[in-house]
Structure formats: C-alpha cells, structure tokens
Amino acid sequence: MLLCDMGADVIKVEPPTGDSTRRMAGASATDSPSFNAVNRGKRSIVVDLKKEEGRAVVRRLAMSADVFIENYRPGVMQTLGLDYDRLGAENPRLIYASISGYGQTGPDARRGGFDLVAQGVAGIMSVTGEPGRPPVKAGVPLTDLGAGLLALAGILASLLHRSRTGRGQYIDTSLVEAGVALSVWEAAEYFSGVGIPQPLGSAHRMSAPYQAVRCADGYITLGAANQRLFRRLGEVLGHPEWADDPDFADDSGRVRDRERLAGLIEGVTAAQPRRHWLDLFEAHDIPCGPINNYAEVMSDPQILARGLVVETDHPTLGRIKTLGSPLKLSETPLITGRPAPLLGQHTDDILRELGCSASDIVRLRDIGAIC
C-alpha cells in the first residue's frame, strides 16, 4: 500500500474467493473495513493459480513488473513455477520480495506465520504487560506490519541498486525476524548480562522515569529520562531533593530503583487530575502526553492536521475513512484518497494491457483461469 501511495501501479493478484481479509468482521459482500484499510489505490485481478493458464498470466505480469511480492509459505511459489529463480531468469530486472513467517531457510522455514505466534516466538509477548500477569501480545500487529515495512525498505534499496546496475534481486524477510529486530532494548539488556528481560508495564528498559503515571482521574505519560529533565521534574513536583538522592544520581540508578521512584512521583501526581499535570509539565517543557483512546486519536487536531485521516468514496461502502500516510514527500507527494478495489475489478483491463484479446479473455474465463 505504501508503494501504491508513492505512485506505483500495484496489481493485487487474488484467488477466486478473494483475499481472506475481505471477509473479516464487518464485511459487506466482498469488502470489509480490514481489506480497505491496507489496499487503497491497488488494482485487483482474480487468477486461479491452480490452473496452468492462471499461472501463465502471473508469469506474463512478472515479465513487465518492477517488483513482485508474495507471502506464501516457503516452497509454494517454487511448486507453482513462480519462484524467483524462474521469474528472475525471465526478467533479470525483477525485484522479488518474499515475506513469510520464519524466513526461507532454517529448521522452521516451512511453518505458517501469524502475528500472534510470531510475537510469542520473537519474545515480544514475554515483555509485554504488567509484571506477574499472563503474557499478552502488543496491541498492534507489530510483526505483520514490521515485516511489511522491512520488505519495503529492501524494495526501495533494491530499486536504487537496479538503477545503478540494471539487475534486480531477491528479498527474504519474515514476521519472526521483524519481531526480533524490533527488540533492540531487550536484546541489549540480555546481551549485556543483566538477565532475561521481564515485562515492565509502560516503563522503559533503559531510562527512568519514562512511563505512564497515575493522576487523580487516570494516567498520563511522562518522560524525564535525563539529568536536566529529572531535576526539573523534581522542582515542578515540589521535591528538588530527588535530584540529590544517591539512588537517583544517574539514569542507571533510576532504572534500578524505578519502582520506588514511580511511587514517589505518583504520590504527588495522584492528588491532581490529568489536565493539571499536562498543562504544568508542558509549561515547563517536560515531555508528557495524554493516553488517548482511538476516538480521541482520530479527532486529535495534530493528527488531522497531518492528514492521517482520509475520507474516500467507495463504490459499495459509500463514504469511508481510512488512515492517511505518515510520509510527507516534497517533490512527489503521496496519493492516499483512492479506494481499495472490488474483487477482480481490473481483471479485464490488466489482461488487455498484457496483450490479451477479447477472445483470449473469454477463453481464460471459460476454463476458470480468471474470474
């Protein structure tokens, strides 16, 4: 979707039943909010890869494509004759990206990949949540989205490489690797010999105070994780002596004694409502913020000013809202106002672009290679 936002002509190849996300909760006919959330601006072609004629259509698409992205289990594309060795030989400029659960090699390569499972394997669930509570996954699908973003980085780097050499290449990344790669602080703690990282709630592993703190009517976030800010925080809260406490002399000490420090801070902040502390901390340039629910997020003036809520006219769902792009490019502004495609909406158009005649299209449809 991000490539599509950047101006790429993205063709989504779907099976006759459609992408499974089309049928997620809230679906109307072949369209669901989940599908529309990540498929805006793409074109949809329906191809049955179980038929040789359908696979031939995909090979023809790959002949003229810049980038080919797939997320089947390792080995499936080779069985279908749509792997990089074959397609890359036919189109040496092709950039081919595979996103899988565990990667294309290793003892677990053939296992299926789901965000929940990958978060567990990658360790994310072991450090998420409050100490002593059951493991929970991160609220957003970090490994799913992280793997997609890593693939995007590889694709953009490969496009630059191709512009210099004329050659495409193969990109291999996975959900589990995304989860491990994002665990930079946890890995640093473990590799440094401190021990196995444990859940800390909202606290930071390497800095304190840097967490949610309790107020009279709920919680806010507070980040005073360097000496200057910590001293200022103590002064604002009426406890300048905290800065002279030997246990809080530096960030390492505050991390070791974070529970006592948090208790001291909340002993003060619990006496006043959130708005009081947000206004006071902001006035003294101490990093802080509200903990918004998503109704508050989607009406936040800053979020709206940055174009992160986009309204789109959809042919069957009417006027819908989706997320805009977090990227702002000065010379090539992103395109985010187009709807996701209906199932197979562009099949005939794409086949004509490939050189198929009207009779070719009728024949492919008659034998079930396309829908």
328: Cα separation from own chain's centroid? 17
Which spans in the chain are helix H? Answer: 2-5, 33-38, 52-64, 76-80, 84-90, 115-121, 142-165, 175-181, 184-191, 227-236, 251-256, 258-269, 274-283, 294-297, 301-305, 347-353, 358-366
The amino acid present at 327, given as its one-letter code, is: L
- Rounded Cα distance between 208 and 254, Å, is 6
The whole-angstrom separation of Cα 158 and Cα 166 is 10
- Cβ neighbours of residue 271 under 8 Å, at least 6 residues apart? 216
Task: For residues 4 and 327, give the distance between their C-alpha atoms in angstroms, rounded to a whole number.
Answer: 13
Q: Determine which one of 19, 31, 144, 172 is catalytic.
A: 144
Among this protein's residues, is 144 annotated catalytic? yes
CA distance 261 to 78: 57
Q: Using CA atoms, how far apart are residues 10 and 39, in angstroms rounded to an integer?
A: 9
- The pair phi, psi for residue 127, each rounded to 5°, is -120, 5
Q: Which of 241, 222, 216 is nearest to 231 (CA)?
A: 241
365 three-class SS: helix
**What are the structure tokens assigned to 289, written together?**
């913020």
Distance set, CA 317 to CA 3, 121, 312, 345 (Å): 24, 38, 10, 15
List, by residue number, the catalytic residues: 144
